[in-house]
Structure 1
Amino acid sequence: MHTPESSNQHTVPPERHKGPVVLRRDQLRRSTSDERLLDQRPAPPEDFTRTDPWRMLRIQAEFVEGFDALAHLGPAVAVFGSARTAPGHPEYQQARELGRALGEAGYAVVTGGGPGVMEAANRGAVNAGAQSVGIGIELPHEQHLNNWVDLGINFRYFFARKTMFVKYSQGFVVLPGGFGTLDELFEALTLVQTGKITRFPVILLGTAYWGPLVDWIKSTLVADGKVSEGDLDLLRVTDSVAEAVAVLTEVHADPGPRPDDAAAPGSGA
């Protein structure tokens, strides 16, 4: 006869990850690392792990782990979109098609490692036999890396995680999503606009979803002089997975000069 306790002894309780640390039960009430980092209230004097010098060591360790894990990734494209997109939804199917097409074109597929669009893109990459990468983040409510991630890294700090996306990807393809998706989109556009990253296509997949945003950029930002009309060229909007992949491969076909190859000011070159 099975008691309630014995019948549930193999059930995994809810958990949350903080880098390599796993928290369960009473430990779930602990705040996230980003939350504590940005909290302006002074830490208790006895809690040295909440001092900035100690945090710097932890942040450095995250960068080392990320660089070490992704150093040999090769050509890669990051795919962003909603974690709330259900399997069977047209956007899920399109993300899966995109992941497969990117893999067949020779790219690794990098996502945030969560469910929804991210899961679909990772799944498509696996279907194509390509590298499938998930770069996760510590959240108040745990979001596990999806089962289609072959190489997964969990970060404590958003800014360390964001660095990995732009350092190890050669372009972004953005499907419909929420605040997190918009955050990654506009950060990439800012980096391209300011010349921090080059030969880095940013493609919006889904004209019905993204069209109103692009129209607002034209009618408000450009019209008011907040961005230049040429900045619209930083974006490509399409409904076609094939077109998205073609844009990426065309841009990357010509490696172009390295930043260090540029002539120094006043060199006369």
Structure 2
Amino acid sequence: MSDPRPRPVPNGPEIETISALDSALASGSPLHGLRLQDLDLTGHEADLLGRADVEGMVVLGGRLPPALEGHLRAHHALIFPTDPHAPVNPYRATLYQPHELYAGLDERGYEQTPDAEAYHWSRDAALHHDAFVTLLRAIHDDSITDALGEFIDGRPVVGVMGGHALERGTTGYAVAARLGHALAAAGLLVATGGGPGAMEAANLGAFCPDPTRLDDALERLAVVPSFRPDIAPWARLALQIHDEVMEAGRARAVTSVGIPTWFYGHEPPNVFCDGIGKYFSNAIREDGLLARCTAGLVVLEGAAGTVQEVFQAATRLYYAPEGTAVPPLVLVGSEHWRERVPIWAGLQALARGRGMETALHLVDDITEVPGLLVG
């Protein structure tokens, strides 16, 4: 008597583009175990309806005609549904671009952009204990993690941390922007928490390859110094400058990435990034950001959130296996970190006698920073 249960099949490659799917179909190889992520299969209905070798195929979101969905299910493919009411795509294969998150800003205001709606969708699910939305959030964050790895693709990454309250037009904002510019000029990919304040400034500096254009951007952004009380004019001005930089330097290198979170609904994402990896889970976002800072971490002046990131990074350095190289941790602003938020002494005490000791640096001049990092 035959066993009606589907047989285990090995995992196949991930297919994230229609061109990759076309190549797989043209190769004549079996389709067992393929992972199709966020694809519109409407134009491939005829190609796939004639194939019975789809056992173990996994279809993650995308668009699927009813007849093709029935055929795949009948041949033991796995179909993962999405929620048509979700403001974001849980199965996306790439990082966000600024205009995606701020779509509709001019017509409807910030509260009806995908960015704001994603926050409310997430919070509503938490309040009502919606297991399906919670699952989709987790799938979304895993998709972002995968996309972030592909985006970074082995580049040396330097993290820049700092407070979200730092206003445009201030000396501190300009310092953070010039730091980001210097780090990108040194060949590093600048990664921040993707929010406003010091994070926006560092992303802006890295994003602008031309110092003259950076000076112009700093002057123009000062007209709208904060995202409070209204996010719309803050974001609208930044998007205009973003588009001008992109138009002027179409062949510019990828220099900047933001990794924000919807956990802090009051912090909108900044737009000066070549890619935005926005997460629902702040814990996953924080850990992933710090883990990717292979060239080191630079910490500008900040408060509670910045201090949390410092000690998360310090924990990694403290427990690094003996004899392994550890990335530098550079704090900028000796008065701030010695007096106003006096964590420097604690970091030194933790580092004493460990490999972490040589990784700690406290500076006042940002021109010292690039030379302290791993190239």
- What TM-score do you get using the length of structure 2 for normalisation? 0.51
- Match 2:120 to one of 11, 19, 28: 28
2:122 and 2:280 in contact (8 A); partners too: no
8 Å contact from structure 1 (residues 16, 138) kept in 2: no
Q: Which amino acid aligns with 1:229?
A: R
CA 1:172 to 1:113, structure 2 compared with 1: closer, same or farther past 3 Å?
A: same
- How many residues align? The count is 221
**1:101–1:188 Cα change, 3 Å:** same
Q: 2:156 aligns with which of 46, 71, 75?
A: 75
Which whole-Å CA distance do the structure 2 matches of 1:125 and 1:93 have between them? 12
1:117 to 176, 194, 198: 198
1:49 to 118, 132, 137: 132
Are residues 13 and 183 of structure 1, via their aligned partners in 2, closer, same or farther at CA, if it must alter by over 3 Å?
Answer: same
Deviation at 1:188, TM superposition (A): 0.5
Is the strand fraction higher in 1 or 2? 1
SS, match of residue 14 in structure 1: helix
Structure 1 moving runs of 4+ over 6 Å: none
In the superposition, relative to structure 1, how do residues 66 and 108 fare at CA in structure 2: closer, same or farther (>3 Å)? Answer: closer
Residue in structure 1 matched with residue 52 of structure 2 by the alignment: none
The letter for the 2-side match of 1:10 is E
Deviates more, 1:135-144 or 1:99-108: 135-144
Letter in 1 for 2:314: L
Q: Deviations over 1:200-247 (max 9, x none)?
A: 1000011110123246428xx94xxxx363355442100111211111
Larger deviation, residues 237-246 vs 157-166:
157-166
**3-state SS in 2 of match to 1:165:** helix
**Residue aligning to 1:136:** 260
- C-alpha contact 2:194 2:200 (8 A) present in aligned 1: yes
Q: Kindly tell me: are residues 54 and 136 of structure 1, through their superposed partners in 2, closer, same or farther at Cα, counting changes over 3 Å?
A: closer
2:325 maps to 1:201:
no
1:30 shift after superposition: 5.4
Cα distance between partner residues in 1 of 2:106 and 2:358? 57
Q: Give the match for residue 5 of structure 1.
A: none
Per-residue CA deviation, residues 182-208 of structure 1 (Å, 9 max, x unaligned), is: 111111111011006843100001111
Residue 217 (structure 1) aligns with: 346
2: CA distance between counterparts of 1:54 and 1:11? Answer: 26
Among 354, 367, 370, the alignment partner of 1:242 is 367
SS at match of 2:271: coil
Q: Name the % identity.
A: 26
Give the 3-state SS of the residue equivalent to 1:195 in structure 2: coil
Q: CA RMSD in A?
A: 3.2
Which residue matches 1:229? 352
Q: CA deviation at 1:96?
A: 0.9
Contact 2:195 2:270 in 1 (8 A): yes
- 2:146 alignment partner, one of 56, 59, 64: 64
Match of 1:121, SS state, is: helix
| Change in CA separation of 1:14 and 1:80 when aligned onto 2, cut-off 3 Å | same
Show structure 1 runs of 5+ residues with no match. Answer: 1-7, 254-269
Query: Whole-Å Cα distance in 2 between the matches of residues 12 and 148 of structure 1?
Result: 20
Could you tell me how far 1:58 is from its partner in structure 2? Answer: 5.0
Q: Is the 8 A contact 1:62 1:160 kept in 2?
A: no
CA distance in 1 between partners of 2:185 and 2:338 (Å): 28
Task: Tell me the alpha carbon deviations over residues 11-68 of structure 1, each in whole angstroms, 9 at most, x when there is no partner.
Answer: 32415767xxx618xx8385277xx4xx9xxx76xx43277x7776455334323323
SS at structure 1 position matched to 2:200: helix
| The structure with more radius of gyration | 2
Q: Give the conservation status (yes or no) of the 8 Å contact 1:98–1:124.
A: yes
Provide Cα deviations, 1:161-192, integer angstroms capped at 9, x if missing partner: 12332332221000011211111111111101
Instruction: Identify if the C-alpha distance between structure 1 residues 90 and 29 changes in structure 2 by more than 3 Å, giving closer, same or farther.
Output: same
| Aligned-partner residue type, residue 367 of structure 2 | A
